[in-house]
Structure 1
Amino acid sequence: MAPGLIGTAALAVVVSLAVHVVLNCPIQPVPSPPLPAAPYPPNNLLQGLEKLGEPGLIAPEDVYVDAAAGGTLYTATRDGWLQRMHPNGSWEQWRFVGGTGLLGIAPSADGSMIVCDAHKGLLRVEEKRVTILASTVQGSTIRFADAAIEAADGTVYFSDACTRFGFDQWFLAYIESRPTGRLLKYDPRTGDASVELDNLAFANGVALSRDEAFVVVCESGGFRCSRLWLKGEKAGQADTFVQDLPGCPDNIRLASDGSFWIAIHQLRSPLLDLVTRWTWTKRFVASFPVLVDRIMATAKGAMVVQVSENGDIIHVLDDSEGKVINFITSVTEYNGDLYFGSLSTNFVGKLSLANVSQGKKEAHVTDVQ
């Protein structure tokens, strides 16, 4: 082919791609925040976990352990079931809710379960019925209900991850980087929901401090967690609880000593870092679903961190290459063990904290202070 024809063909391809992006790009990206550094060397302590329920669980995103029921474990899976593992290790399909969007689960004082359905909103699941508590808030649709926690007075704090994209397009919300997430509150006395915080960078996990003086909401797109004070002189004020996390925080749970365990996504790879560097690369990738899938698949690894009541990182556990578990979405402490949920597994992970301590001694791993 003559050089002139080659140049013309190349120009035609470029123009065609540009037109495709203009007509089909689903995102309106803004610059991403600076990527977190990697100050913690891999320890791969998560590779020692035990797999529970394998292979019968389809992407168990969140995990809750009921101490009052002797350690009965609950999780929600992509086939629409709330499933539970009894203390003897047997599994039961407990309640069928339906759909593929069951995410955060939390106990209610009345014995029911609070469930976030990414598509339907905030649910209450009882033995014989499912009730939608909130599908809208102050006139707007709750598009991506994600995680919830109930306070002692029955108030439920929960997150709406993004107002532009739903659960099936969470990666588009991440690379778009627009802070449209919200922390919401459901008041059982009035049956109304309200917006407590907005402009959050992909609002995710929610947890109350042990004295319920504040509520923490994770911002996956900002590598941080924000805090809303509920009591004391700062009541009604918001600030940053912890920032510069070594990845994207997902779910957060209160630990036995008043600290918090946070699941951290490792949404990093040389290719993914390149894509999120510029808004034009974000637009290009988002316009081709096959590219989105392939780039998502390059992110490997799993991590959880323990954060003190003051927001200091004190422990980091990981599976640096995702060899045993990948894409951890929740971590729950119960009776000396950690339990892990993930959208990339067919099991719930379990790891003894005693084994973690022994592994650190053998590997000469120093905790972060």
Structure 2
Amino acid sequence: MAVFKKSLVFLLVLLTAFALQIIFFSPISPDILELPLTSPSVSVPPSNNQLQKVIKLGEGLLEGPEDVAVDEDGALYTATRDGWIRRLHRNGSREDWKKFESNTLLGIATPKRGGLIVCDADKGLLKVTDDGVTVLASHVDGSEIRFADDAIEASDGSIYFSVASTKYGLYDWTLDLLEAKPHGQILKYDPSTQHTSILLDGLYLANGVALPKDEDFLLICETFRFRCLKYWLKGESKGKTEVFVENLPDGPDNINLAPDGSFWIALIQVVQIVPQGMEFVHTSKALKLIISNFPKLVELVTSGVKKKATVINVAANGNIIKRFDDPDGTVVSFVTSALEFEDHLYLGSLKNDFVAKFPLK
């Protein structure tokens, strides 16, 4: 009996130590993630397999081309995980344009005066030209920019860009998902003063940004809230924020203006990011604490993000017009950006080793 009691005490001590380890040494301080409604409040076209018709550009040569941009000459740019910015010309030739000692290059944009605007999750906001690289913004209000994500330049040269998280970096974004707290920001870089300011904070993974043709407002993808916001830059509502589109079937990643004034949004699989039937992970703080302490479990519950591809086209009034999918990721998966150019969509991805070209006509 004495041996049994000692064993029981020892077991209780172990369990207590384990619980304290989970609570006090967890890398996250979680909240509940608000999942989209089962019956969406917006009209979403049904899933399809249209993206299985894509043409693969640069297959095997482009490692995780997260975003794409096109310059005035029609050259396509993408930044890859091996630190290269690569340029694909109209004639089909490929050029290794610029090399960085970085595996955290994300959103890119072509500014009015040439070159390329690049978000490096680790280094901040960069300007890249044939002559070299300039760091435009690495800090804001005395704090280092930790996770620069996407950028867009306005006609006056101002650059609006997102910081996905002020707490976690690119390769820890799954912890940001499990924590489910608003660490995201929208920043503005003023080229005349070289000053960077905070426009918005308290966002749940601030992601893609886009401007309409009249630049009256800025659209912001808030991935872990399954919605896009509209931040007014002009008019009576200047400085105010409202919802542009919400209750999306998956988390919005990058967003780009289409020639007709609508917007293309890439969706990543956040709702079903855990194995089928395990959505309850996002509704339990205790379970999140346990999972976050074990990298293999974190990998397990976030593995679904790489298994499908979805792109939607949203009108200027927030109505969803079109939807294209590869529901099983058979041909293309983990699509993070969609850019329309000359009746085709060019799709970036953090998983694929190519840029996908999808005909719209």
TM-score, normalised on structure 1? 0.90
The one of 292, 301, 310 aligned to 1:295: 301
Does the 8 Å contact 1:97/1:130 carry over to 2?
Answer: no
Aligned mates of 1:122, 1:207 — CA distance in 2 = 16
Report the count of equivalent residues. Answer: 351
CA contact (8 A) 1:271 1:298 kept: no
Contact kept in structure 2, 1:103 and 1:147, CA below 8 Å: yes
| Structure 1 position 156 matched with structure 2 position 159 | yes
Q: Is the 8 A contact 2:269 2:304 kept in 1?
A: no
Show the counterpart of 1:33.
34
Aligned to 1:319: 326
Q: TM-score, normalised by structure 2?
A: 0.92
SS of the residue corresponding to residue 131 of structure 2 reads coil
2:62 counterpart (57, 81, 94):
57
Query: 1:35 and 1:13, CA in 2 relative to 1: closer, same or farther beyond 3 A?
Result: farther
Pick from 161, 165, 168: which aligns with 1:165?
168
**Aligned 8 A contact 1:217 1:227 in 2:** yes
Percent identical: 46
Tell me the distance in 1 between the aligned counterparts of 2:13 and 2:57.
54
Which position in structure 2 is the counterpart of 1:340? 347
1:306 Cα deviation from its structure 2 partner:
0.7
The equivalent residue for 2:134 is 131
Distance 1:36 1:290 in 2: 29
**SS of the residue 2:304 aligns to:** coil
Alpha-carbon offset, residue 40 of structure 1:
4.6
The corresponding residue for 1:359 is none
Distance in structure 1 (CA, Å) of the matches to 2:258 and 2:47:
23
The worse-fitting range, judged by mean Cα deviation, of 268-277 and 133-142 is: 268-277
Contact 1:205 1:218 in 2 (8 A): yes
SS at match of 2:289: helix
Residue 259 of structure 2 corresponds to which residue in structure 1? 256
For 2:134 and 2:109, the matched residues in 1 are separated by 15
Q: Distance in 1 between matches of 2:257 and 2:4?
A: 66
Matches within 5 A, 1:156-235: 156-235=159-238
Provide the C-alpha distance between the structure 2 equivalents of 1:13 and 1:352, rounded to a whole number of angstroms: 60
Asked if 1:108 is matched to 2:108, the reply is no
Unaligned runs of 5+ in 2: none
CA distance in 2, matches of 1:312, 1:42: 17
SS of match in other structure, 2:186:
strand
Instruction: Indicate conservation of the 8 Å contact 2:207/2:220, yes or no.
Output: yes
What 5-or-longer segments of structure 1 have no aligned partner?
355-369
| Aligned counterpart in structure 1 of residue 279 of structure 2, from 265, 273, 278 | 273
Runs ≥4 in structure 1, deviation > 6 angstroms?
A: 2-10
Q: Is the 8 A contact 2:36 2:248 kept in 1?
A: no
Question: Is 1:45 aligned with 2:46?
Answer: no
Q: Any conservation in 2 of the 1:29–1:178 contact (CA below 8 Å)?
A: yes
- Matched with 1:362 is none
**More divergent stretch after superposition (233-242 vs 192-201):** 233-242
Please give the alpha-carbon distance, in whole angstroms, between the structure 2 residues aligned to 1:6 and 1:312.
63
Structure 1 contact 36–247 (Cα < 8 Å) conserved: no
Q: Deviations over 1:308-328 (max 9, x none)?
A: 111111111111111111111
For 2:9 and 2:91, how far apart are their aligned partners in 1?
70
